[in-house]
Structure 1
Amino acid sequence: MEHHTSESKESQGQVSAGTAILSSSAKLLQSFNPLGGICESLCGLHLFPNDPKRQYIAYHYCHMIDEDRRQCLIYDSDSETAKLVGVEYVISEKLFKTLDENEKKFWHSHKFEVESGMLVVNAKGMVPAVVAKTAEMPVMQGLVNTYGKAIQTWPVDDNGECSCRVPTGPPQILASFTSDDQIRQDILDKRDKELGISTTEKRKEREGKIQGNPVVEGADQWTKGKAWQIYDEGAHGSVRV
């Protein structure tokens, strides 16, 4: 994974008066129906399977297609100026089992993310903690046995930031965590500070209450020495270990 320079300050968050007017008018005149289906706001960490120390905080905004399928937009923050850095498709264990073995290599499990407290609901600041905790438990129960195929389109630097001005390079396959020793504590601490939560407390809250099934064979292949990734090689690129 290449390292990238920081975005120039003069380009950050600035729009012309004309662009601002057009943007405001669009909200009144144009249809945004697909976005209206977004009903889940989640926050977790992602890593790159071929470079697992490269990790970042990922804010997911998900639309439930049906009981077996979600589609999520991934942003690098929950602010109005957040970058859209990728997408993730989330499917049930039942649906994952129907995939052929070649396809399974692109998917990761969510069992450890949920049980460890790493994956959380991104609640509004005004929501009381006890209410947020109560609402979060059934969401996590619904996710613990799911599988994700996440595709990053904006590269991440050594500090876990999507710092380059434009999304350069080929899309990248992302992975999830399967054990504590894979986690960069500095990135996790930053996430907890941003949301005002404790991953350690989340884990304690879920112990004995949320327990996922054993991970289905074929997922998380990066942990078995098969870090599948997309590379910029030749006219059409390639996918290889």
Structure 2
Amino acid sequence: MAEHALQSFKPLAGIREAWCSLHLYPNDTKRQVIAYHYCSMLDEDRRQCLVYDSNSKDAKLMAVEYIISQKLFESLDENEKKFWHSHKYECESGMLVQIAKPMVPEMVVETAEIPALQNLCNTYGKTVQLWPVDDQGNCSSKVPSGPPQILASFTADGQVRADLLEKRDKEMGIETEKKRKERMGHVQGNPPAEGADQWFTKGKAWQIYDRGDRGVVEQ
């Protein structure tokens, strides 16, 4: 009998959502990465996601993301809020897309995607990257090195690198701009809550190994 048949994988059995998006480093916004998310629901207010650098069988587990409702986000203290990003722009812009199985018709994907996006667009994420990327957005190091880092989401047009978005679309076989048009009038989020996206709204481009908001890197 195969060894895996004797083992329990219960926490992984709860994964029910698969998404692809892009993240950036809040302290170095030109450093960006394509991220494949596989998420399970803890309850109506909380999701947790394993984040990989690709959708292949040898993908590297590069980060984890925790996703919470707006109600739960607004209950956080002000210091904790600085670690969290909104999902409104990702959902409306076409940047966040479902990972569909090969040969699934686009119409079927769109029908499932729209209500799922509406459910996500008023949520907030905290993404902690463990495997850093190089200047090309790849996890090229042999092992995950350095301290964990916070990743942020995009909040407006003109922020994402065109070459990286084109690479993602080619990998997924989609067109982000087409996705955006499909969602107009169907996916609409609330204005991001106060305290989220601080790298953008307040210019606080810190990283978790810094002292203070924009402080000196710890030695």
**Under a length normalisation based on structure 2, what TM-score does the superposition of the two structures give?**
0.95
Larger Cα-atom Rg: 1
Of the three residues 180, 183, 193, the one matched with 2:157 is: 180
Alpha-carbon deviation of 1:180?
1.2
Tell me what 2:187 maps to.
210
Of the three residues 130, 153, 164, the one matched with 2:141 is: 164
Tell me what 1:29 maps to.
6
Tell me what 2:106 maps to.
129
Tell me what 1:117 maps to.
94
Q: 3-state SS of the aligned residue for 1:81?
A: coil
Distance 1:77 1:239, change over 3 A: farther
Alpha-carbon deviation of 1:238?
5.2
Q: Deviations over 1:41-71 (max 9, x none)?
A: 0000000000110001000000011111000
Give the alignment of 1:1-241 within 5 angstroms: 25-223=2-200, 224-231=202-209, 240-241=213-214
Q: Deviations over 1:86-140 (max 9, x none)?
A: 1000000111010010000000000000000000101011211110110111110
RMSD: 1.2
Q: 3-state SS of the aligned residue for 1:63?
A: strand
Check conservation: 1:86, 1:152, Cα contact below 8 A.
yes
Alpha-carbon deviation of 1:181?
1.4
Letter aligned with residue 176 of structure 2: T
Q: Report the number of matched residues.
A: 213
Letter aligned with residue 72 of structure 1: C
Check conservation: 1:62, 1:71, Cα contact below 8 A.
yes
Q: Which runs of 5+ in 1 are unaligned?
A: 1-23, 232-236
CA distance in 2 between partners of 1:184 and 1:116 (Å): 14
Structure 1's consecutive aligned runs of 4 or more residues displaced over 6 angstroms after TM superposition are none
CA distance in 2 between partners of 1:230 and 1:170 (Å): 9
CA distance in 2 between partners of 1:238 and 1:173 (Å): 14
Q: Which runs of 5+ in 2 are unaligned?
A: 215-219
